[in-house]
């Protein structure tokens, strides 16, 4: 922790929506290392604050305002999942993500928020975006169809923040993280993303003695994966050091195809059986890899964790979950 970081977070109240979730819990941990005391952090739980409901949003801000400290909001609560979950719930994903974000931002302008940090999604980019994705390309087409309802809802919040900065002076920033992975990820096969889904399949196959695993798609799609520790560090750095109008990519600047990723995970899990590709299932967006130069230039973020080490850590975490 440096003096500048500690000074920024001292005597502030910080709302972390989604703070009990995968990424959010790591952001809370990172804040603690930057001099933010735990009693300064508010993590609203859905059972008490369903942020889709306007009344819950108002209660949350009233609770924070009663503490009489400058307020920072990091909004990362989301209704989200992998390709299967997106295909099954397009209306739900659009509505809940839109309503949560719109209401959190609207209420922020009435409560003297010092900084509003909105987490976007790489799914907001057009289906066919030149690689590496540059932030200026975000409006140059429609998102990949299976992700579009989620991606469009999240992208609309960028416009809201830019509009509110222009009209109301709200200090809002918008970050675009790439695909995340790491400890505490969601390993539920009904809603998990590609890395936790593959880890579960491979570890479970090893434990059951299965001779094959089934994998969606052709394997031709590529993705960029950012370890959750790096993502949390980027969010806290941006909160401290960035106050601009333009969206900023948060990524590792490393692209890997799914056909390369699957055997990598299988080997690390100790699975030696057959990998059966189901090409009748969608691949999703053809390629994803972000230009991360803006994050490096604006607040000094460079990803540190390499993919192999991060996968080993995530596999060990899942095995610990299974043994509990």
Active-site residue, 150 included = yes
User: Is the dihedral angle over the CA atoms 40, 45, 50, 56 positive or is it negative?
Assistant: negative
| Angstrom distance (rounded) from CA 155 to CA 162 | 11
Catalytic residue among 49, 125, 150, 181: 150
Please list the active-site residues.
150
């Amino acid at each position: 922790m440096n003096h500048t970081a500690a000074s920024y977070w001292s005597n502030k109240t910080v709302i972390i929506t989604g703070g009990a979730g995968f990424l959010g819990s790591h952001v809370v941990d990172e804040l603690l290392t930057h001099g933010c005391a735990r009693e300064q952090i508010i993590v609203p739980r859905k059972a008490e604050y369903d942020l889709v409901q306007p009344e819950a949003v108002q209660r949350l801000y009233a609770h924070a305002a009663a503490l009489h400290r400058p307020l920072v909001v990091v909004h990362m609560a989301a209704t989200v999942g992998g390709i299967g979950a997106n295909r099954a719930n397009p209306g739900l994903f659009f509505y809940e993500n839109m309503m949560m974000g719109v209401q959190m931002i609207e209420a922020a302008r009435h409560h003297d928020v010092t900084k509003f940090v909105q987490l976007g999604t790489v799914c907001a980019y057009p289906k066919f975006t030149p690689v590496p994705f540059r932030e200026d390309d975000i409006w140059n087409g429609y998102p990949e169809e299976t992700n579009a309802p989620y991606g469009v809802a999240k992208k609309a919040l960028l416009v809201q923040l830019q509009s509110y900065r222009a009209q109301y002076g709200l200090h809002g920033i918008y970050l675009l993280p790439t695909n995340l992975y790491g400890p505490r990820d969601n390993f539920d096969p009904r809603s998990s993303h590609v890395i936790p889904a593959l880890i579960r399949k491979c570890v479970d196959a090893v434990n059951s003695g299965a001779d094959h695993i089934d994998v969606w798609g052709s394997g031709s799609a590529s993705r960029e994966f950012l370890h959750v520790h790096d993502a949390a560090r980027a969010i806290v750095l941006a909160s401290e050091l960035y106050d601009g109008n333009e969206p900023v990519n948060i990524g590792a600047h490393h692209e890997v195809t799914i056909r390369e990723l699957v055997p990598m995970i299988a080997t690390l899990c100790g699975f030696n059986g057959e990998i059966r590709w189901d090409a009748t299932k969608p691949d999703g967006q053809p390629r994803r890899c972000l230009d991360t130069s803006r994050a490096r230039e604006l607040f000094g973020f460079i990803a540190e964790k390499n993919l192999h080490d991060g996968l080993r850590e995530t596999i060990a975490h899942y095995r610990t979950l299974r043994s509990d």
